[in-house]
């Protein structure tokens, strides 16, 4: 009888294993990882998040409150082969969402090895580990960046396209913010070639090529996103290399005038975190057939000065001021043509800039108020104890 029960038990185990769907998310405790965690936990039987919990992002080193409680969190480094072996021994993913990355534009110029180690080597370590463990996921979803376009395509007064290249340090130092006689154009992966203007951008473009070529060779579906400037609740408030919207909000909340680089007319496409999350989840759950990568943004031009003014008005802070300062590697203008992403993913960004700023500021207020209450409580406890 025992000889009968054992095979039956094994069959039940195999049957359960066959219907279990697993999603692995690198950088899963980060801003975007937390934002997609609930939808992934609803869609998969098991969601495993890998994150090195870098103190620049996670100063408390604790599990983020925004990460869905059903998600398994493992503190692992994607650039370390042994960590990948440990992760894949624990879970054979059907889908991988590759978010882990160093994202500092200016920081990448002085810490190139760090950015290449995480972004490039971290990706190759993932691919090598999948081969070692003989795992072929159904798809790999990669969060790349609009930074790969660099300055992108500009047009002259007759509408002829041009690729002027990178703005040099000499240009920026002289206050020459634009390319003379040219106007920037919208970014689309089907019409604008990649031309990275900083180390971070170069590593992200390398990621795209690595994932695409590997997936093509092993029959795995790649889903690539080029994200514009993502902001919203859950974004790090202490990382100096995070998005400017949260940093501007903290300055304005403290009653300070927001400093704006160059002449204030840098153009960006600010896309709310909920809209980015819904786009990524759509690519995870469905099989879009259109040409990739997908450009994910609100699809609107907004100057840095406009963002700063809106935040200052929200808090009643002094008017922002132009500093004339600049950052090497920054591009002058970037905004997305989201047409193909909307069609292929059946997706649409729903949160405009004004609503998004209000929601972010409300969240920041709640975080700061909670921190103040905690500090007061600790101070009271200490005084009583003494």
For the annotated catalytic residues, the residue numbers are: 200
Helix (H) or strand (E) holding 205: helix 199-218
Beta strands in the chain, from DSSP E residues, in sequence order: 22-26, 46-51, 72-75, 95-98, 139-145, 154-155, 161-162, 183-184, 221-227, 229-231, 259-260, 267-268, 270-272, 294-296, 302-303, 321-322
- Reduced to 3 states, what is the DSSP secondary structure of residue 173? helix
First-to-last CA distance in the chain? 70
Distance between CA 125 and CA 116 in Å, rounded?
12
Tokens of 72: 């398994």
Tell me if 115 sits within 8 A of 158, measured CB to CB.
no
Beta bridge partners of 139: 95, 221
Query: Residue 129 is inside which H or E element, if any?
Result: helix 122-132
Q: How many helices (H) and strands (E) does the chain have?
A: 13, 16
Q: How far apart are CA 371 and CA 207, in angstroms?
A: 38
């Amino acid at each position: 009888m025992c000889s009968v029960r054992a095979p039956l038990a094994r069959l039940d185990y195999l049957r359960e294993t066959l219907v279990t769907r697993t999603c692995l998310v690198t950088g899963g405790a980060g801003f975007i990882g937390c934002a997609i965690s609930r939808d992934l936990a609803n869609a998969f039987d098991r969601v495993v998040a890998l994150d090195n919990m870098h103190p620049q992002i996670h100063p408390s080193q604790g599990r983020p409150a925004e990460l869905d409680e059903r998600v398994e969190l493992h503190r692992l480094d994607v650039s370390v082969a042994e960590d990948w072996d440990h992760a894949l021994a624990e879970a054979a993913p059907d889908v991988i969402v590759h978010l882990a990355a160093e994202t500092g534009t200016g920081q990448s110029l002085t810490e190139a090895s760090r950015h290449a180690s995480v972004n490039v080597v971290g990706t190759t370590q993932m691919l090598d580990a999948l081969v070692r463990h003989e795992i072929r996921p159904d798809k790999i979803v990669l969060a790349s960046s609009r930074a790969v376009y660099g300055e992108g395509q500009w047009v002259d007064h007759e509408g002829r396209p041009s690729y002027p290249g990178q703005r040099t340090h000499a240009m920026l130092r002289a206050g020459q913010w634009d390319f003379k006689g040219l106007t920037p154009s919208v970014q689309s992966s089907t019409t604008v070639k990649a031309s990275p203007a900083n180390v971070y951008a170069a590593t992200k473009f390398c990621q795209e090529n690595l994932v695409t070529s590997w997936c093509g060779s092993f029959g795995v579906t790649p889903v690539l996103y080029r994200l514009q400037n993502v902001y919203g609740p859950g974004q790090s408030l202490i990382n100096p290399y995070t998005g400017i919207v949260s940093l501007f909000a903290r300055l304005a909340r403290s009653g300070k005038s927001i400093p704006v680089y160059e002449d204030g007319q840098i153009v960006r496409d600010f896309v709310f975190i909920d809209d980015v999350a819904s786009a990524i989840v759509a690519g995870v759950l469905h099989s879009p057939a259109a040409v990739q990568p997908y450009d994910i943004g609100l699809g609107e031009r907004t100057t840095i000065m406009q963002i700063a003014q809106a935040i200052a008005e929200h808090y009643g802070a002094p008017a922002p001021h132009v500093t004339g300062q600049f950052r090497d590697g920054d591009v002058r203008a970037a905004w997305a043509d989201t047409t193909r992403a909307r069609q292929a993913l059946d997706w649409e960004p729903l949160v405009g800039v004004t609503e998004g700023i209000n929601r972010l500021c409300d969240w920041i207020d709640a975080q700061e108020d909670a921190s103040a209450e905690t500090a007061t409580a600790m101070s009271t406890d200490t005084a009583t104890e003494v």
